[in-house]
Amino acid sequence: MTMIAVPFHLDEHLPDLALPLAPDRSIVTALAPGPPWERMAVLYDEVANGVARTSPQVR
C-alpha cells in the first residue's frame, strides 16, 4: 500500500505537519489566491491524479 501525505488543513499548507508514519510521497501544490473551495478543488485534483498514478490499472 502506498501512503500519500497531503499536508494541508482545508486550503492551508502545513509544511511542518507531524505524521505518525512516513509517507511514500507527498502532494504539495501552490494554490492561487481565491475562495477556499476553489483552492481546495485544485488540491483535490492533484490528490486524485496522485492516487491514480499509484493505483494499479483496473481492466
In tens, the pLDDT along 14-37 reads 999 999 999 999 999 999 999 999
Residue 18, domain member (yes or no): no
In a domain, 39, yes or no: yes
Residue 16 lies in a domain: no
Number of folded domains that form the chain:
1
Show contacts of 7-15: CB within 8 Å, 24+ apart: 8/43, 10/36, 10/40, 11/36, 11/39, 11/40, 11/43
State the residue range of the domain holding 41. Answer: 1-9+24-59
In a domain, 15, yes or no: no
Asked if the structure places residue 17 within a domain, the reply is no
**Given this model, what pLDDT does residue 55 score?**
76
Q: Is the pLDDT of residue 38 over 90?
A: yes
